[in-house]
Chain A
Amino acid sequence: RKEVEQDPGPFNVPEGATVAFNCTYSNSASQSFFWYRQDCRKEPKLLMSVYSSGNEDGRFTAQLNRASQYISLLIRDSKLSDSATYLCVVTPQGGGNKLTFGTGTQLKVEL
Chain B
Amino acid sequence: GAGVSQSPSNKVTEKGKDVELRCDPISGHTALYWYRQSLGQGLEFLIYFQGNSAPDKSGLPSDRFSAERTGGSVSTLTIQRTQQEDSAVYLCASSLRGGGATNEQFFGPGTRLTVL
Interfacial residues, chain A to chain B (CB-CB below 8 A): 2, 4, 31-32, 34, 42-46, 49, 87, 91, 94-104
Contacts and interface: CB of A to CB of B under 8 A. Distances in A.
A104 B58 CA distance: 23
Given A42-B109, A97-B48, A87 B99 contact: no
Q: Is the interface of B mostly helix, strand, loop or mixed?
A: loop
A87 B107 CA distance: 14
Nearest to B103: A96
Nearest to A31: B101
A98 B43 contact: no
Q: Is the interface of A mostly helix, strand, loop or mixed?
A: loop
Contacts of B48: 97-98
A96 B101 contact: yes
Given A4-B42, A94-B99, A96-B100, 19 more contacts: A2-B42, A34-B101, A44-B91, A44-B107, A49-B101, A95-B98, A96-B98, A96-B99, A97-B31, A97-B33, A97-B98, A98-B33, A98-B45, A99-B33, A99-B45, A99-B105, A101-B35, A103-B41, A103-B42
